[in-house]
Structure 1
Amino acid sequence: MPVTRRRVLYIPGYDPFHPRRYRELYRKEGAAQAEVSGYSLSQRKGAGPYSWIVDSKMEGAEVETEVEVLVWSDIVATSMSRSIPATYRQLARTAWAYIGSGALFRLMRLRKGPVIAALYPIVFLLVQLAVALGLGWGAGTLAATGVRALPMGVDLLVTGWVVGLILGGGVTWAVLAWFKGQDSKVFAYYLMHDYAFSARWNGANPPELEARMAAFGEVIAAALASDVDEVLVVGHSSGAHLAVSVLADLIRAGRVPEGKCAFLSLGHVVPMVSFLPDANRLRADLHVMGGQALIPWVDVTAPGDGCAFALCDPVAVTGVAPAQQRWPLVISAAFTKTLSPERWAELKRRYFRLHFQYLCAFDRPGDYDYFRITAGPQTLGERFAGRAPSPSRLTEPVNRHRAMAA
């Protein structure tokens, strides 16, 4: 029987922006994909403040889908320190968490792109600090030299250095503040906050996030108890590993009916967390999700996305695959094939935009079409039944830390 009613519960990544961003992105990109692919999509207001309803006509059927964003942007915003010194403290703590634990060197055996993305804010912030200190030292030295050269009958040596320190410190701070003001163009502070969020707890979840994930579980459980034909959980970027944990909890609690729930992970960065020493909870959840038979799990990444661990099986590379691993089905969105050469040339150096391409239109769509998956008449399991995993996927367990929570 085709799907006529669906609930999509979307868990975003580490994103401080209002969830209306995702509603407008769906409206705009859905219209573009419908025009390319020849189906019909219309969007109207949903019942909740962070939801919308999509009416579609495609593949010979009419489907009503309610999409809801499960919000944790307030937790993200709170974690993003506005202080320059606090950010540099985060830098030191994050570098030590990944280097001291050996996680960074293990991650480098996977895809280089996300490791470079992780190192980028560290290097960029250190360069900013070096430039600021250099300019501050130059300004302070000039000021001290100028004061000592004044023709006055007092000891100007100490006075010169005091003036130099004050002016040099002021210039250093002003340069750092200027760099921070330009971060919307370079994203160094933003990425630093992102990686520091997991590093601070060495891969464990902070209490406020655990509470929010429990609330997400209740929303998903209520959807599963309703009369919709499919409940599709979508986790993007950091939201993918949150979804893994939420769904694993529901399975353990016996709250997932057979044949009703599906999971789509997009652009995951799971190893950035699961390779840390205290990620015992996430590793146990990956183990559960890898072997369970209740929730079809399709994982979509693309080598062109430098911010994701493209084609890395998150269960296998973490080293916690069960003896009979079923999931995820790892496939590629193949940006270089599903985007025209002109569109690819336009986007290929816009790294953060490409990280959101999974939620956007393709002008040469393949078997991955976000809008067919979320608003079409087939369940996720049916749509990809019999689909072979990508031959380029990585499955070698390279993680050093494999302890799992009981």
Structure 2
Amino acid sequence: MEKFKRKVFYLGGFDPRGVRFYHQLYRDQAVRHGALTGEAISVGGRQAGAAGSAVSATWAVDNEAAGVSTDYEYLRWEDLVGKVWIRNPGALALRAARAYAGHALKMDFWRMRRLRKGPVITILYPPILAVLIPLLLALVPALILSLVLPFWAGALVGIALSAFLSGRILNKLVVPWLLRFMTYHGALAAQGPGDALDARLDAFAGRITQELDGDWDEVQLVTHSAGTILGMRLMRRLIALRGGVLPDHFVMVGLGQVVPVIGLRRDAHWYHDDLRALADKAFRYVDISSPPDGAAYYNVNPFLLVADRYAARVDMLSPRFHLFYEQENYHGGWSNKYEAHFDYLRVGDRLSPLDFISLTAGRRTVDDAVAAFRTIP
């Protein structure tokens, strides 16, 4: 069997954990995939990318049984995330309050609600819970204890209890992560990416350009979460470097797409320009976003946020995770929002043509995987 050669570029989301975490996640999911298929997938160690370790890291993926060889390149920007990752709770509260004031003034929430109601709730509940939960945890014990103790004593107990429990409950509900996400993207919308991030995107575009004419049967640009936002700016650069034309074996894949977080900010003129520049460009784009994922914009075509028509060949799909997970392993409910947003990178209890390992290490092209997925009742 002739070897199928694939090049994958992966651009992840707003996450300071970086390449070590995602390399191990890929290894773990390759093992799960092998257990379901009988195809032992070898995942090599991390190496510095061709443009240097600050730009990317690579690892080899070999699916010998399927006759597939994948060169996987992780596009790095976790160092830039780390510089803006707010760790102090007080600083986070202050900066989040300013960011949400900006969102209230500049975000087109009415249009967002018409597109998808879930993300509106996901955006709005963190600041509400960040205030209510500590307040209730302090006030309720204080009022109850005031029946038998002086109010000041009950208040001290309530404050101590709130300080002890609030962080744990808020973390369980993913409130701090969402506050950081919205704070960063509020600044990104208003101020633009800045020199450092733009330079990194230029480096990413250069790397992809170098590989497009290589000996590959398929070249994928896979973006996830906040990476789907930056992926559009990256695509504009990539297409410009290629003189407006991309090869037929190139495909962009968006997982858990969140483009409207910036695309619906009225002041994000720089980003609207990016989307408009892409709307009349012909390339292959597959969007895989889950309706129960409250952070993702299922069936929202990013190009139609700024244009009436588009030239790309687009598929908008739900991964239908409920078909591929046992009920006890399915990441549903409020307390699982963070995990649900990472199921795009996992393998379920049953094999899906669109699971991450099947897409990046399987024999099917993305087009073939989409076609196979559409046959599932």
- When the two structures are superposed, what TM-score results if normalisation uses the length of structure 1? 0.77
The separation in 1 between residues aligned to 2:321 and 2:308, in whole angstroms, is 28
Deviation at 1:233, TM superposition (A): 0.8
Which residue matches 1:360? Answer: 346
- C-alpha separation in 2, matches of 1:112 and 1:30: 34
How far apart are residue 34 of structure 1 and its match? 2.5
CA deviations on 1:149-198 (whole Å, 9 max, x unpaired) are xxxxxxxxxxxxxxx9xxx9999699558744765433322210111111
2:360 matches 1:374: yes
Q: Is the 8 A contact 1:331 1:389 kept in 2?
A: no
TM-fit CA distance, 1:300: 0.4
Q: Hey, what does 1:149 align to over in structure 2?
A: none
Are the equivalent residues in 1 in contact too, given 2:254–2:288 (CA < 8 A)? yes
> For the pair shown, which has the larger CA radius of gyration, 1 or 2?
1
Which consecutive unaligned segments of at least 5 residues does structure 1 have? 147-163, 391-406
Secondary structure class of the residue paired with 1:109: helix
Q: Residue type matched to 1:32 in 2? A: R
The match for 1:83 among 74, 85, 88 is 88
How large is the Cα RMSD of the aligned pairs? 3.4
Amino acid corresponding to residue 39 of structure 1 in structure 2? E
Change (3 A) 1:184 1:101: closer
1:116 matched to 2:97? The reply is no
User: 1:304·1:348 contact (CA, 8 Å) conserved in 2?
Assistant: yes
Match of residue 281 from structure 1: 270
Structure 1 residues 121, 258: closer, same or farther in 2, change over 3 A?
Answer: same
TM-superposed CA distance for 1:135, in Å, is 9.1
2:27 corresponds to: 27
Superposition TM-score, scaled by structure 2 size: 0.82
Aligned to 1:53: 60
Question: What do residues 58-109 of structure 1 show as CA deviations (whole Å, max 9, x unaligned)?
Answer: 5xx4121121221111222221223333222222222222221252232122
Give SS of 1:304's match.
Answer: coil
Of 196, 221, 228, the match for 1:240:
228
Counterpart of 2:35 in structure 1: which amino acid? E
Does the 8 Å contact 1:230/1:260 carry over to 2? yes
Q: Note the 1:341-356 alignment, pairs <5 A.
A: 341-344=327-330, 347-349=331-333, 350-356=336-342
CA-to-aligned-CA distance 1:225-277 (integer Å, 9 cap, x gap):
43333321110011012111101111123266422421110001111110002
Residue 354 of structure 1: how far off its partner (Å): 1.2
Would you say the 8 A contact 2:9–2:74 is kept in 1? Answer: yes
Contact 2:352 2:373 in 1 (8 A): no
Structure 1 distance, partners of 2:85, 2:288, is: 28
- 1:157 match: none
1:196 corresponds, among 183, 194, 197, to 183
Between the aligned partners of 1:384 and 1:35, the Cα distance in structure 2 is 23
Please give the residue correspondences for 1:4-403 in structure 2 after superposition, counting only pairs within 5 Å.
4-48=4-48, 50-57=57-64, 61-128=66-133, 130-131=135-136, 179-180=166-167, 184-202=171-189, 204-207=191-194, 208-254=196-242, 257-293=246-282, 295-316=283-304, 318-322=305-309, 324-344=310-330, 347-349=331-333, 350-384=336-370
CA displacement at 1:113 relative to structure 2: 2.0
- Give 5+ residue unaligned stretches, structure 2: none
1:192 is matched by which residue type in structure 2?
A: L
CA contact (8 A) 1:330 1:389 kept: no
Say if 1:5 and 1:230, in contact at 8 Å, map to a contact too: yes
